[in-house]
Protein backbone atom coordinates (compact mmCIF):
# COMPACT_ATOMS: atom_id res chain seq x y z
CA UNK A 1 0.00 0.00 0.00
CA UNK A 2 1.18 3.53 -0.68
CA UNK A 3 1.55 6.03 2.15
CA UNK A 4 1.84 9.77 1.70
CA UNK A 5 2.31 12.86 3.76
CA UNK A 6 2.48 11.51 7.31
CA UNK A 7 1.30 14.53 9.28
CA UNK A 8 1.97 13.30 12.82
CA UNK A 9 5.01 11.05 13.17
CA UNK A 10 4.28 10.25 16.82
CA UNK A 11 0.76 8.97 16.08
CA UNK A 12 2.02 7.05 13.04
CA UNK A 13 4.69 5.46 15.25
CA UNK A 14 2.10 4.49 17.90
CA UNK A 15 -0.12 2.96 15.23
CA UNK A 16 2.79 0.89 13.87
CA UNK A 17 3.64 -0.26 17.41
CA UNK A 18 0.07 -1.60 17.75
CA UNK A 19 0.48 -3.84 14.71
CA UNK A 20 0.82 -7.52 15.56
CA UNK A 21 2.94 -8.71 12.64
CA UNK A 22 5.81 -7.46 10.55
CA UNK A 23 5.37 -4.08 8.89
CA UNK A 24 7.95 -3.05 6.31
CA UNK A 25 8.65 0.24 4.60
CA UNK A 26 10.03 -0.13 1.09
CA UNK A 27 12.35 2.67 0.10
CA UNK A 28 12.51 4.05 -3.45
CA UNK A 29 15.76 2.05 -3.83
CA UNK A 30 13.94 -1.19 -2.90
CA UNK A 31 15.30 -1.52 0.64
CA UNK A 32 12.89 -3.17 3.09
CA UNK A 33 12.98 -1.61 6.53
CA UNK A 34 11.20 -3.45 9.34
CA UNK A 35 9.16 -0.79 11.17
CA UNK A 36 8.74 -3.09 14.17
CA UNK A 37 12.48 -2.76 14.82
CA UNK A 38 13.37 0.44 16.68
CA UNK A 39 16.65 0.90 14.81
CA UNK A 40 15.08 0.29 11.40
CA UNK A 41 12.20 2.58 12.31
CA UNK A 42 14.55 5.46 13.10
CA UNK A 43 16.46 4.88 9.86
CA UNK A 44 13.18 4.78 7.90
CA UNK A 45 11.82 7.94 9.53
CA UNK A 46 15.07 9.81 8.99
CA UNK A 47 15.02 8.83 5.33
CA UNK A 48 11.30 9.54 4.95
CA UNK A 49 11.41 13.03 6.41
CA UNK A 50 14.83 14.15 5.19
CA UNK A 51 13.84 14.12 1.53
CA UNK A 52 10.76 16.25 0.76
CA UNK A 53 10.93 15.10 -2.87
CA UNK A 54 9.65 11.60 -2.02
CA UNK A 55 5.92 11.91 -2.76
CA UNK A 56 4.99 8.46 -1.47
CA UNK A 57 6.42 5.27 -0.04
CA UNK A 58 5.27 1.67 -0.04
CA UNK A 59 4.39 -0.02 3.20
CA UNK A 60 3.76 -3.76 3.50
CA UNK A 61 1.94 -5.50 6.34
CA UNK A 62 1.41 -9.25 6.43
CA UNK A 63 -1.46 -9.54 8.91
CA UNK A 64 -4.98 -8.67 7.74
CA UNK A 65 -5.76 -6.64 10.87
CA UNK A 66 -2.52 -4.68 10.47
CA UNK A 67 -3.41 -3.82 6.87
CA UNK A 68 -6.81 -2.59 8.06
CA UNK A 69 -5.23 -0.61 10.92
CA UNK A 70 -2.79 1.15 8.58
CA UNK A 71 -5.49 1.86 5.97
CA UNK A 72 -7.82 3.30 8.62
CA UNK A 73 -5.03 5.45 10.00
CA UNK A 74 -4.20 6.84 6.57
CA UNK A 75 -7.85 7.54 5.74
CA UNK A 76 -9.17 8.87 9.04
CA UNK A 77 -6.43 9.66 11.57
CA UNK A 78 -3.81 11.27 9.33
CA UNK A 79 -5.82 14.37 8.53
Q: Cα(63)–Cα(75) distance, rounded to whole angstroms?
A: 19
Instruction: Say what the pLDDT of residue 72 is.
Output: 93
Domain boundaries, the chain: 2-77
Cα Rg for the chain, rounded, in angstroms? 11
Whole-model pTM: value is: 0.78
Chunked mean pLDDT (size 10), the chain, 79 residues: 80 92 87 87 74 72 96 83
Amino acid sequence: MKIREIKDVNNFNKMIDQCKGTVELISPEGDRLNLKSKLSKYVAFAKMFSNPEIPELDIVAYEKEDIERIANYMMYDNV
